[in-house]
Structure 1
Amino acid sequence: MSKLHLGQVDYLNCLPVYYALEEGLSPLDVKLIKGPPTQLNRLFLSGELDITPISSIEYARNKEKCIILPHMSISSDGRVESILLFSRLPVTELDGKKVCVTSSSATSVVLLKVLFEHYYHVDVEFITTEPDLDEMLTRADAALLIGDDAMLAHHRVLQEKLPLTVSDLGEAWKLLTGERMVYALWVIRREFAAAYPEEVSRIAKLLYASKLIGLDSMPAIIGKAKRRCPLPIAVLEDYFLNVIKHEFSDEYQHALLTFYNYAYKSGVIEDRVQLEIWSEDLE
């Protein structure tokens, strides 16, 4: 069997899962392929990745091609700090306006559409662009950014006291539904799982173990994040210790199904979704 190709979202939010792999602390021997969520989605669906974090909305659209690995997600319980809408107007005054959305994301764009329809009650025109706040705001009245781009832009808004309203989509989702929000899942190709079930169990255990190592190595992860991204230590500590989650317990699964139900109501997906999770007990 050739070396497996494992996708890695090239944002800070994946560091707790991949820290052990990057530092040689895990025996999982894979080739890491880094990129933004939409690129990893595309590589996985074209068969160029065997395992990857996939945008949760893309699982709903392509569930016949993959199986979810247990105990793994990119999630938040309320504010997420890295999925932000920057707007010149209060969000409820954006009706009929243009909104630029980042080309880097799939789930966040759908979440924004759901929130516009069911929470803010505005109808807007969406424009997909590269993630550059200044350029986006020359073309529209609001801009959606995710990941490190969102965090750096928010820091700049605060430092420069820019006249923008910043809305956290995780927080808005919590206010709408009372639920957590699951932005990405780790999945493995269905045909690989059918051919090599013992290998899938081994991989699932090692990825989970890698996550646990990361969660126990927060000072080192925060230090690594600081070397990668010029955000204040206090911001990084808050993000890793209080904000970003990587769980996929029953509560997170229920929250994800709630998101799928809203996406279905908004016409974003054609059918209601059931989750198919690899059943290996990793605890």
Structure 2
Amino acid sequence: MSLTIGEISYTNILPFFYYLNRDQLKKDDVRFVPQVPSQLNQAMAKGLVDIGGISSFAYAKNDHAFTLLPNLSVTTYGKVQSIFMFSKYRIDQLDGKRVALTSSSETSIHLLKIIIEYFYQKDVSYEIVEPHFERMLNEFDACLLIGDDAIIANRQKQNGLYVYDLGEIWYKETGLPMTFAVFAVRNECIKQQPSKVLKIYEALVESKKRSELHHYQPMIKDILLTHGGIKDFWESYFEQLCNDFGKQEQKGLLYYFELLFKLGYLHKPIDHLHVWNPVMQY
């Protein structure tokens, strides 16, 4: 029986995939599907993808069906440098304004809602649109972009715009890390194919460790060819990301879920994370 791995099509997920032996995994009947977070979230929910890095918010909507893999996440303790709100107004002046939200995200969309509605207590209207920087700001007062779209927009932005890093605001307000993406596996896959899930998990962890050991240098060299930018930016970008998912990262994620429930964006409280313990499988 084959397993499908969903691979987020953003650079921040690369450390977990860069050193994978894809040929060997394919021989083990594992296939890869690259998608943006919103597509991958839907595919996991529909059972079309078995294992993947999904938006943290997507896990909250399907926590009954998913188990989280330990030691793997896209987390920041402060600036994330790839999730920005670009605004014509200061954030404390957004009352009554219109904000465009990227269609590529769920976690970041809801993080921005926490920031605007809970931390700053402003009343704005939102609209989800395709991520296109110029069109968004032509039609709206502010816009949210994530991933490579946000990195490019920040590199090319015009003068006079206010730029807010959502990870930086979250950390300033809470003192907790913000986990934007988690690695999840469908529960039935663990029940039916625990050994194959373990092999994939170990490969992801090994790729993460090798990426960190080499300070992301081979990966950055490839990114410069495909995405441009400057080496110093990408070094700073990856070094400030946290790839782990331990107690502190889980604490921050649970507080994010707590605030979403308080604001009415989750229909039930999430007070426990289902994290896999591979040792317990054998």
Q: TM-score, normalised by structure 2?
A: 0.94
Match of 2:7 in 1: 8
Residue 197 of structure 1: how far off its partner (Å): 2.2
Return the offset for 1:27: 4.4
Measure how far apart 1:260 and its partner are: 0.6
- For residues 26 and 19 of structure 1, the distance between their equivalents in structure 2, rounded to whole angstroms, comes to 13
How many residue pairs were aligned? 275
Q: Which structure 2 residues correspond to residues 260-275 of structure 1 after superposition, within 5 A?
A: 260-273=257-270, 274-275=272-273
Matching residue's letter, 2:84: L
Q: Secondary structure at the match of 2:234?
A: helix
User: Which of the numbers 163, 166, 184 marks the counterpart of 1:166?
Assistant: 163
AA partner of residue 80 (structure 1):
V
Task: Give the unaligned 5+ runs of structure 1.
Answer: none
Q: What do residues 76-107 of structure 1 show as CA deviations (whole Å, max 9, x unaligned)? A: 11110101000001011010000000000000
Residues 245-264 of structure 1 correspond to what in structure 2 (within 5 A)? 245-264=242-261
Q: Does 1:201 align with 2:194?
A: no
Instruction: Tell me the percent identity.
Output: 35
Residues 150-184 of structure 1 deviation map (CA, whole Å, 9 limit, x = unaligned): 01100112xxx521000000000011111100001
Q: Distance in 1 between matches of 2:24 and 2:238?
A: 24
SS at match of 1:270: coil
Moved more, 91-100 or 115-124: 115-124
Write the deviation string for residues 8-48 of structure 1: whole angstroms up to 9, x where unpaired.
11111011111012xx4884333221111001111111111
**How much has 1:59 moved relative to structure 2?**
0.4
Give me the whole-angstrom Cα distance separating, in 2, the residues matched to 1:33 and 1:67. Answer: 20
Contact kept? 2:25, 2:31, Cα under 8 Å: no
2:218 & 2:202 partners in 1: Cα distance? 23
Change (3 A) 1:26 1:78: farther
Q: Aligned equivalents of 1:228 and 1:198: distance in 2?
A: 35
The reply to whether residue 232 of structure 1 matches residue 230 of structure 2 is yes
Q: Conserved in 1, the CA contact under 8 Å of 2:86 and 2:142?
A: yes
* Inter-partner Cα distance in structure 1 for 2:222 and 2:126: 35
Give me the whole-angstrom Cα distance separating, in 2, the residues matched to 1:98 and 1:5. Answer: 39
> Is 1:74–2:74 an aligned residue pair?
yes
TM-score normalised to structure 1 length:
0.93
Closer, same or farther in 2 for the Cα pair 1:19/1:26, shift >3 Å? Answer: farther
Match of 1:135, SS state, is helix
Give structure 1 regions of 4+ aligned residues with deviation exceeding 3 angstroms.
24-29
CA distance in 1, matches of 2:171, 2:154: 20
Contact 1:26 1:210 in 2 (8 A): no
Matched with 1:222 is: 220
